[in-house]
Amino acid sequence: MTDTPVAHPRTPARPPTGARPRPAAAATTPVAGPPATGPGSDLHLELAAAGGRRAALMAALREAIRSGRLAPGTRLPPYRSLAADLGIARNTAADAYAELAAEGWLTARQGSGTTVADRAEPVAPTRARRSAPSHRPAHDLRQGRPDASSFPRTAWLAAGRRALTAAPNEAFGPGDPQGRRELRVALADYLARARGVRTDPERIVVCSGFAHALRLLFDGPAAALAGPAAGPLAVEAYGLGFHRALLARAGVTTVPLPLDEDGARVEALAEHREVRTALLTPAHQFPTGGPLHAARRAAVVDWARGRGGLVLEDDYDGEFRYDRRPVGAVQGLDPERVIYLGSVSKSLSPALRLGWMVLPEQLVDRVLAAKGEREAWVSALDQLTLAEFIDSGGYDRHVRRTRRRYRDRRDHLVAALAARAPHIGVSGIAAGLHAVLRLAPGTERSVLKAAAYRGLALDGLADYRHPRIGQEAMPATDGLVVGYAAPADHAYQAAVAALCDILPDPL
Amino acid sequence: MTDTPVAHPRTPARPPTGARPRPAAAATTPVAGPPATGPGSDLHLELAAAGGRRAALMAALREAIRSGRLAPGTRLPPYRSLAADLGIARNTAADAYAELAAEGWLTARQGSGTTVADRAEPVAPTRARRSAPSHRPAHDLRQGRPDASSFPRTAWLAAGRRALTAAPNEAFGPGDPQGRRELRVALADYLARARGVRTDPERIVVCSGFAHALRLLFDGPAAALAGPAAGPLAVEAYGLGFHRALLARAGVTTVPLPLDEDGARVEALAEHREVRTALLTPAHQFPTGGPLHAARRAAVVDWARGRGGLVLEDDYDGEFRYDRRPVGAVQGLDPERVIYLGSVSKSLSPALRLGWMVLPEQLVDRVLAAKGEREAWVSALDQLTLAEFIDSGGYDRHVRRTRRRYRDRRDHLVAALAARAPHIGVSGIAAGLHAVLRLAPGTERSVLKAAAYRGLALDGLADYRHPRIGQEAMPATDGLVVGYAAPADHAYQAAVAALCDILPDPL
């Protein structure tokens, strides 16, 4: 049946008959739908006041069909009658019918008029999933989220318009798995001047973010750093549990390095002869907040050289410095020993899924092989838009504006705590989008309970602690990780007030 | 050193000193750059005629620094002198200096004027990779590529503007790994009326394309269909080698099903008791071009039910039908036994990296777990734009327009072959973006050589043949797979002429 040509190949497509359990029958049996509406009958359509008549009629008919008010098989009035009923031009109604038939909403058949098309029966409704955004917290001070209301919609759209208008046609063809060259050129330039990264565009691989980068390096037998000689990965004693879980699923053992006020104690690497790779957050230890001391920056690079190993530099919020000079990337010390990882997730939006890896030359091909040599992964359109956004200075402007905004928020947080909870120590505030509040030993859990009761979303330090770091190597401390970027401006002061309310009184 | 606060926290950021091998020295040693330009010296800047003066001056300075004409350490003339030289307002020049300092291009220090900032030294240039788009074929008749010049830039940008303007702020926050609900609602609606798919938005998972879907199902220990009971996967005897390679890397054994004019011989599944999953292209066998016969569609679903297995339906070009009614998705026969996979790669552009999986309910959570419950993968902005593009009818219009264009191309190809090579059989032309040309036994390789010599890119059938299908199960045939969508309109006729030139004469 499916091979029989229809009379005229340009007839608008009928809705697919294969959707029915018995397609052959469905194609020949007359539709047993509800009674057809008579010619001229009132469809009770409300046309939107704004916009063109044709578009408004189409939208109203689609909505009536979608909602079930016009059931499959319902015969529509002739377009002339409908046009007269609605006071619109006949051509307009005829065009709307034809277009909806071409889209599969209506069926136009010689002699039997226009009917609502048979649709695939919906399946029984599936239970809603936990991802439903219904239970949002009253106050959101979770770390790692930039203020979603600060996304530069207008500037981004303008950059997108310029980028897509100027793009060569091949930009809409199969993508380069390494990433668009325009973006890699813009990033090489930007990262050199803003982050002290030493690279050229050929060593940059575009990916969808830090988690994608971790997967490309570690997940699966084809991963770039997988293999029998891989060994365990050194990580900081405090870090994101999500990353530890991803690594654990990939079969990577992690070895925690203790932290102090100068960052990760990289000298501890000497105790682990089997470790050849270390993942660090040198610009701003996550989540405790200090930069890696200059001597340790040099030491960890020396360690990597001596052991033939690698440093993975997670530069997740390097753009956000407030009170001191920006700390350049460790990658600049030795581009052949450091993999530099960054993204727009903090600086612009995690919704873009756009990140980058700056790689030692010898690793580029291995990462591309892990990525899939025909798999581009990241929207070329977003890549072109970001390249234009960087080149035109829009990215710098956006970072400067949000940096000012987040600094003001930090100042407000520090001032509010000084006034209302002066006994609470605050650290990690020179940079980034979050602060750490020290709590008295044994109180973290009860404070988090009070926060949850109040509808205040934030995290305790305990969640970030590596499960295998010993008390003797680094004593656990109670504390809160307070992200000050997530709320919209109008909601921020109330969130800080709620935080101050739930903080415990001095002992 | 890095902890010392600078005098005024709002001083524009200096370029990162950590980029230097010896940051402490670099911060205190005077820069030994080229001689400073004296006050009022001519920078030889050419300001663009169009646009604002400030932007033009910034662009000219950036370009001079980027190209090396203004080396690091070069002292710039005071902004007053520069303004006088260029005949622009003093404020304009001062603003340009301040902005470039904030961006890290210039360094402004009290008492020492404005100098070009130290930049991270570039690494030695890396050799260019094979991905360089330099050796494009003279004529491109490769399958699987839509005409990149047909991308609806204006309509897409307009949909993006509407979508981003209307989007709630949370759209710019962390994404839902399942995909934006707006897009899943639009897809459920579109797939029901255009492809006969039975689903609701809760069973759809957005992914970056077919390869991503295959990885989520099969690649790695956390994949949705991985596990000890998984067993081998039945595939069609002809298919994409790229998919076979991806599956092989994931450790999945594939069992080839022979093909005939009615598509895959699914009755052969009965011979393989260990197989519980079959990957098919029912709407349009890839690459041989026929639809799966209605009886076989029913039979393969019965097989899956009987064995407690699954059918994977690769609906890669279901939108493109020319001479017959569209064949609905097999998924409509049993949504709990069929995984339906689609993308915009053929209908719109492979550059978007946007696809979808329609899943049996019991598999949704497993696919989300494989995807990473915090990993969204696909740009939310592109998702919102596509939802708006579908809802506004733009997607239907684009598909109709390109369908007409590709049909005209197919007609031209068929007519040219009838006139110039009537002895060559053509098949698979009722649908899709490619045709199959039958060649005399033993001639495929020499024809492909002639094509390569002529700069004509296309594929032979042999590349698509599964390495483990026997001659007795399905004899190999010589042939060409000719994609008629890839070239731009103006290049298409020449490509077809080149094809006719290299086809062998009748024996």
Is B152 at the interface with chain A, CB within 8 A?
no
Task: Tell me what the mean pLDDT of segment B410-429 comes to.
Answer: 95
Tell me what the mean pLDDT of segment B315-326 comes to. 83
Maximum mean pLDDT: which of A5-19, A329-343, B222-236: A329-343
Minimal CA–CA distance to B354: which of B393, B313, B395, B324? B395
For A:444-473, CB contacts with B below 8 A are: none
What residues contact residue B80 under an 8 Å CB cut-off, 6+ apart?
Answer: B90, B93
CB atoms within 10 A of CB A288: 24
Q: Check if the beta carbon of residue A16 is closer than 8 Å to that of residue A27.
A: no
Work out the average pLDDT over A82-93.
Answer: 90
Q: Which of B123, B131, B86, B79 lies closest to B101 in space, CA to CA? A: B79
Contact B364 A129 (CB under 8 A): yes
Among the partner residues A102, A322, A325, nearest to B17 by beta-carbon distance: A325
Cβ-count burial of A323 within 10 angstroms (0-12 exposed, 13-18 middle, 19+ buried)? Answer: middle
The nearest CA of chain A is from the CA of B477 a distance in Å of: 23
Cross-strand partners of B109: B113
pLDDT in tens, A152-162: 999 999 999 99
**Integer Cα distance of A464 and A239 in angstroms:** 5
Identify the three-state secondary structure at position A276: coil
Interchain pair A330, B246: CB under 8 A: no
Give the mean model confidence (pLDDT) for residues A156-175: 96
**Among A8, A57, A126, which would you mutate to test the B interface (most chain B Cβ atoms within 10 Å of its Cβ)?**
A126
- Partner A contacted by B407 (CB < 8 A): yes
Mean pLDDT of all residues in A245-263: 94
Per the CB < 8 Å rule, is B23 touching A328?
yes
Question: Is the predicted pLDDT of residue A429 greater than 50, yes or no?
Answer: yes
SS3 B470: coil
Q: Is the pLDDT at B240 greater than 90, yes or no?
A: yes
CA distance A299 to chain B (A): 12
Region B309-326 average pLDDT: 87
Contact A16 B333 (CB under 8 A): no
- The mean pLDDT value for B451-472 works out to 96
DSSP state of B474: S
Is residue B295 over pLDDT 90?
yes
pLDDT at B2 over 50: no
**pLDDT more than 90, % of chain B:** 67
Torsion of Cα atoms, A381 then A386 then A392 then A397, to 10°: 140
Distance CA(A223)–CA(A200), nearest Å, equals 23
Q: Given this model, what pLDDT does residue A10 score?
A: 37
Which residues are CB-neighbours of B127 under 8 A, at least 6 positions away?
A: A202
Q: Which of these, A39, A27, A37, A26, lies nearest to A64 by C-alpha position?
A: A37
pLDDT reported for residue A135: 67
pLDDT of residue A230: 80
Work out the angle at residue A148's Cα, subtended by the Cα atoms of residues A147 and A152, and round it to the nearest 5 degrees: 100
Q: Does A18 touch chain B (CB under 8 A)?
A: yes
Residue A38: the pLDDT is 40
How many C-beta neighbours within 10 Å does residue B389 have? Answer: 27
Q: Which of B125, B176, B352 sits opposite A131 (nearest CB)?
A: B176
**Cβ–Cβ contact B161 with A under 8 A:** yes
Q: Region A466-488: what's the mean pLDDT?
A: 95
The more confidently predicted of residues A220 and A116 is: A116
C-beta atoms of B120 and A9 within 8 A: no
Helix (H) or strand (E) segment spanning residue A411: helix A394-420
Name the token pair of B472. 């007795």
SS3 for A365? helix
Asked whether residue B222 carries a pLDDT value surpassing 90, the answer given is: no
- Does position A18 have pLDDT exceeding 60, yes or no? no
Q: Are residues A350 and B121, on separate chains, in Cβ contact within 8 Å?
A: no
Rounded mean pLDDT of A33-51? 57
Q: Measured between alpha carbons, how far is B16 from A328 in angstroms, rounded to an integer?
A: 4
pLDDT digits (tens, 9 = 90+) for B137-166: 999 999 999 999 999 999 999 999 999 999
**Closest of A339, A317, A336 to residue A326, by C-alpha:** A317
What pLDDT digit, counting tens, does each position of A215-247 carry?
Answer: 999 988 889 998 766 889 999 999 999 999 999
Residue A455 scores a pLDDT above 90:
yes
Q: How far is the C-alpha of A479 from the C-alpha of A402, rounded, in Å?
A: 26
Average pLDDT over residues B299-309: 96
What is the reported pLDDT for B506?
85
Range in A116-120, A216-220, B232-236 with the lowest mean pLDDT: A116-120
Q: Measured between CB atoms, does A105 come within 8 Å of chain B?
A: yes
Place of tokens 């990939």: A250
Q: Do B291 and A120 touch (CB under 8 A)?
A: no
CA distance A55 to A61: 10
CATH fold, domain B397-502, is Aspartate Aminotransferase, domain 1 (3.90.1150)
Q: What is the per-residue pLDDT across B470-493, written as a single tens digit (0 to 9) for each?
A: 999 999 999 999 999 999 999 999
Q: Name chain B contacts of A221, Cβ cutoff 8 Å.
A: 249, 251
Report the pLDDT averaged over residues A67-92: 88
On the question of pLDDT at B132 being above 60, the answer is no
| Other C-beta atoms lying within 10 Å of the C-beta of residue B245 | 13
Cβ–Cβ contact B220 with A under 8 A: yes
Tokens 């928020």 found at:
A409
Whether residue A501 has pLDDT greater than 60: yes
Other CB atoms within 10 Å distance of the CB of residue A439: 22
Chain B residues inside the 8 Å CB shell of A358: none
Kindly list the residues from chain B whose CB atom is less than 8 angstroms away from the CB atom of residue A105.
193
Longest dimension (CA), chain B: 88
Least confident of A154-158, A176-180, B45-49, B282-286: B45-49
The answer to whether B232 faces chain A, any CB pair under 8 Å, is no
**Best residue of B20, B143, B172 to probe chain A, by most A CBs closer than 10 Å:** B172
* Measured distance CA(B30)–CA(B36) in Å, rounded: 13
CA distance, residue B394 to nearest chain A CA (Å): 11
Selection from A247, A236, A11, A220 nearest residue A110 by Cα: A11
> Which is more confidently placed, A226 or A406?
A406
Interface of B with A in 180-209 (CB under 8 A): 189, 191-200, 202-203, 208-209
Taking a C-beta distance cutoff of 8 angstroms, is the pair B475, B396 a contact?
A: no
- Average pLDDT, rounded, for chain B: 87
Structure tokens given for A206: 């575009």
Question: pLDDT class for A14, splitting at 50, 70, 90?
Answer: very low
Instruction: Give first-to-last CA distance, chain B, whole Å.
Output: 83
Q: CB distance B197–A19 less than 8 Å?
A: yes
pLDDT of amino acid B49: 67
Residue B248 near chain A (CB below 8 Å): no
CATH class of A2-116: mainly alpha
Class of B149-396 per CATH?
Answer: alpha beta
Preceding peptide of A34 cis, ω within 30°: no
Is B351–A203 a contact, with Cβ atoms under 8 angstroms apart? no
**Cβ of residue A130 closer than 8 Å to a chain B Cβ:** no
Distance separating alpha carbons of residues B237 and B254, to the nearest angstrom: 10
Residue A376 CA: distances (Å) to CA of A179, A361, A365, B175, B300: 7, 20, 14, 20, 33
Q: Which of A115, A122, A94 is nearest to A14 (CA)?
A: A115
Q: What pLDDT is attached to residue A187?
A: 97
Separation between Cα atoms, residue B100 and residue B58, nearest integer Å: 7
pLDDT at residue A295 greater than cutoff 70: yes
Identify which of A193, A393, A407 has the shortest CB distance to residue B117: A193
The per-residue pLDDT for range A128-145, each reduced to its tens digit, is 554 444 568 999 999 999
Count other Cβ atoms within 10 Å, centred on residue B62. Answer: 20
pLDDT: which is higher, B251 or B112:
B251
Q: Using CA atoms, how far apart are residues B209 and B224, in angstroms rounded to an integer?
A: 16
Beta-carbon separation of A332 and B203 below 8 A: no
- Rounded Cα gap, residues B79 and B101, in angstroms: 13
**Confidence band (pLDDT; 50, 70, 90) for A126?**
low
**The pTM is what?**
0.86
A5 touches chain B (CB under 8 A): yes
Q: Which residues of A touch B15 (CB under 8 A)?
A: 193, 196, 328
Instruction: Tell me which of B478 and A67 has the higher pLDDT.
Output: B478
Q: Please determine, for residue A497, whether its predicted confidence score (pLDDT) is greater than 90.
A: yes
The rounded mean pLDDT for chain A is 87
Cβ contacts below 8 Å, chain A against chain B, sum to: 372
Question: What value does the mean pLDDT take over residues A377-385?
Answer: 97
Q: Which of A58, A70, A64, A39 minimizes the C-alpha distance to A96?
A: A58
Reported residue count of chain B is: 507
Q: Specify the amino acid at residue A153.
A: R
A26 pLDDT above the threshold of 70: no
| Mean pLDDT of all residues in B300-318 | 95
What pLDDT does A5 receive? Answer: 36
Q: What is the pLDDT of residue A42?
A: 64
Q: Which long-range contacts (CB under 8 A, 24 or more apart) does A299-303 make?
A: A299/A266, A299/A267, A300/A264, A300/A266, A300/A269, A300/A330, A301/A330, A301/A333, A301/A334, A301/A337, A301/A338, A303/A266, A303/A269, A303/A270, A303/A278
Residue B355 in this model has a pLDDT that exceeds 50? yes
pLDDT of residue A269: 97
Per-domain boundaries in chain B: 2-116, 149-396, 397-502
Using CB atoms, pick whichever of A161, A328, A351 lies closest to residue B18.
A328
Question: What tokens were used for B494?
Answer: 């020449």
Residue B291 has phi, psi (to 5 degrees) of: -85, 155
Q: Is B67 on the interface with A (CB under 8 A)?
A: no
Q: Do B19 and A220 touch (CB under 8 A)?
A: no
d(CA A423, nearest CA chain B) in Å? 24
How far is B400 from chain A, CA to nearest CA, in Å? 8
- Please compute, for residue B304, the number of CA atoms within 13 A of its CA located in the half-sphere on the CB side: 26
State which of A129-143, A463-477, B87-101 shows the largest mean pLDDT: A463-477
Q: What is the mean pLDDT of residues A65-88?
A: 87
Q: Choose the mutation target among A140, A162, A302, A353 for the interface with B, i.e. most B CBs under 10 Å.
A: A353
Which tens digit of pLDDT belongs to each residue from B6-60? 334 333 334 443 333 333 333 333 333 344 444 334 677 778 766 688 888 988 8
Mind telling me how many Å the CA of A507 is from chain B's nearest CA? 32
Q: Which of B127, B131, B212, B242 to mutate to test the interface with A (most CBs of A within 10 A)?
A: B131
Calculate mean pLDDT across residues B257-272. 96
Strand B277-280: give its sheet, edge to edge.
B204-207, B355-358, B338-343, B310-314, B277-280, B233-236, B254-257
Output the DSSP codes for B327-353: PPPGGGG-TTTEEEEEESTTTT-GGG-
pLDDT for position B32: 37
The pLDDT of residue A222 is: 85
Contacting residues for A435 by C-beta, under 8 A, at least 6 apart? A289, A410, A413, A414, A426, A427, A428, A429, A481, A482, A484
pLDDT band for position B228 (cuts 50, 70, 90) = low
pLDDT, tens digit (0-9, with 9 covering 90-100), for B163-183: 999 999 999 999 999 999 999
